[in-house]
Structure 1
Amino acid sequence: MRYAGGVADRREFRFGWGATWLDLLATTGQTFGAHPVERLDSVARLADWLARTELTPARPPTERDLDRACRLRETLRTLALATVRGTAPAPEAVDELAEFLHRHPDRVRLDLADRLRRQPPASTTEALARIAHQAADQLTGPARHALSICAEHDCQAVFADPVGRRRWCPAPSCASRGRVRALRARRAAAAD
C-alpha cells in the first residue's frame, strides 16, 4: 500500500477479502459513509484491477465496461448484504444478476503451460461473467455462511470469515477505528 504524507492512499485497491467478487466489492471504500471512495474511477483503473486479479481481457476495457463493472459490483453488494443479514434480497437485484448470468455464461477453457490455468477472458464482459458466477455460487451455496459484514457503520464491507471471529473487514482503518472507539467506551465506563 502506498503512503502519501503518512496517510494510506484511500484509492489504493484492496485485496484479500476471500474471493475475487469480494475484492470487486472493495473497489469502493467507506461505501455507506459521508465520503465514499471510488477506486474504479476510470477505464485505466478497471484495466489495472482486472490485471491484478489475473482477469486481463484480450480486448481492453471501455467506458461501457466500466459502467457494467460498477453496476455489477453494486448489484452484488445488495445481494451480499441481504444474504449475510438473512433478509430477502431486492427482487430487482436478483433479476439483474439472473439476467447477467443468463446472457453471459462462464465459458471455462483450460490451458496447460507451466501449470493448469484458465484461458484469459476474451472481453471485460467475460471477465465480469467469471466474477458474477463466482459470486452466485458463493451466495447460494454453503460458503454463504462464511461471509461477514464489517462492524463499521460507514464501511459494511462483506468479506469471507470462515472462522467467524472477525468483527472488521481486512481494511486496517476499520479495525483501528473500532478498537479506538471500544477503548474510549471502556474508559468512559470506568470513569463513571
Structure 2
Amino acid sequence: MASPSASAPVSTAAPVSASGELRFDSGRSSLDLLTTAHPEERLDSVVRLRAWLVGSGLVPADTPLRGAGPAWLAAVRELRDHIEQLVCGELDGRPAPAALERVNALARCAPPAPCAIRRADGTLDRALHADPGCRELLAAVARDAVELLTDPAARSCLRRCEGDSCPIIYLDTSRGRRRRWCSSEVCGNRERVARHRRRAALART
C-alpha cells in the first residue's frame, strides 16, 4: 500500500511560485492540467509533475511514484493536448474526433484505488492501495474530462478567461455565473491596473 507517514499531518497542497507556475483554481483537475501550458511550459521536470499530481489531489503527498520519469511527462503533455482540443472544440462548436478517441481510450483504464488508513492520532487519512503507474493517473484525468464534458450542467459553466491573451478555461461556479477571469488576483488585477491607467491618461488630456 502506498501510504503517507502516520507521524504527522500530510498536506496535499503543491508549491505555487509567486509567478503562478502551478495553479489549481480552474475547478476541475482536467482543466487545471490545461493551465500548465500557459504562459510557458510548467511541466518541465519530473519534480514539477509530482507537485502537480499532489496539488491536483490525484495522489497524497507522500505517494512514492517510483516509475515517474520523462515518459510520464510526455504522456501527460499528450493528454493535455487532447483535452485542450476537446474542451475548445465544445466551446467553439468544432468536434475533435481523434482527441475524443484518445481520451476515451485512456479513460478505460482504472484510476488509482484510494483507501483510508488510521494515523497515529486515531484519525483516518487518504492513501492509495498501491503506488500508481502512469496509465492509472492518466485515466483519472481522462475520466474527469469525460465527466465534465458529458455533464450538461458542468459543461454550461465552462468559460474562457477575459484577460488579454489569456487562454485559460475554467468552470464558473460563482453566484450568477459572473466570474470573468481565470483568477481575480492575476488577470483580474491586470485588467484593473490597465483600466486605472487608461483613466489616468484620459484625466491628463
Q: Which amino acid aligns with 1:134?
A: D
Which piece of structure 1 moves more, 15-24 or 49-58?
49-58
* Cα separation, 2, equivalents of 1:120 and 1:158: 33
**What root-mean-square deviation, in Å, do the aligned CA atoms of Structure 1 and Structure 2 show?**
2.7
TM-score (norm 1): 0.77
| 1:57–1:123 Cα contact (<8 Å) kept | no
Kindly indicate whether residue 76 of structure 2 is the aligned counterpart of residue 69 of structure 1: yes
Aligned to 1:20: 29
Structure 2 stretches lacking a partner, 5+ long: 1-15, 118-123
Give a deviation string over 1:82-132, Cα, whole Å, max 9, x none. Answer: 22x251222222222223224xx2346342321566646521221121011
| 2:161–2:168 Cα contact (<8 Å) kept | yes
Rg larger for: 2
| 1:81–1:149 Cα contact (<8 Å) kept | no
* Cα separation, 2, equivalents of 1:128 and 1:107: 8
Structure 1 stretches lacking a partner, 5+ long: 3-7, 31-36
User: How far 1:180 sits from its partner (Å)?
Assistant: 3.2
Kindly indicate whether residue 183 of structure 2 is the aligned counterpart of residue 180 of structure 1: no
| 2:23–2:35 Cα contact (<8 Å) kept | yes
Give a deviation string over 1:22-44, Cα, whole Å, max 9, x none. Answer: 221111223xxxxxx11101122
SS at match of 2:85: helix
* Cα separation, 2, equivalents of 1:152 and 1:50: 27
SS at match of 2:95: coil
Q: CA 1:57 to 1:73, structure 2 compared with 1: closer, same or farther past 3 Å? A: farther
Q: CA 1:110 to 1:45, structure 2 compared with 1: closer, same or farther past 3 Å? A: closer
Give a deviation string over 1:49-100, Cα, whole Å, max 9, x none. Answer: 21233424643311111001011112111211222x2512222222222232
Structure 1 residues 131-150: aligned runs within 5 Å:
131-141=141-151, 142-150=153-161
Percent identical: 32
Q: Which amino acid aligns with 1:65?
A: W
Q: Which amino acid aligns with 2:74?
A: D
| 1:110–1:118 Cα contact (<8 Å) kept | yes
Q: Which amino acid aligns with 1:159?
A: Y
Q: CA 1:122 to 1:159, structure 2 compared with 1: closer, same or farther past 3 Å? A: same
Aligned to 1:168: 181
Structure 1 residues 1-192: aligned runs within 5 Å:
1-2=16-17, 8-10=18-20, 12-30=21-39, 37-54=40-57, 55=59, 56=63, 58-83=65-90, 85-102=91-108, 105-107=109-111, 109-113=113-117, 114-115=124-125, 119=129, 122-141=132-151, 142-163=153-174, 164-170=177-183, 172-184=185-197
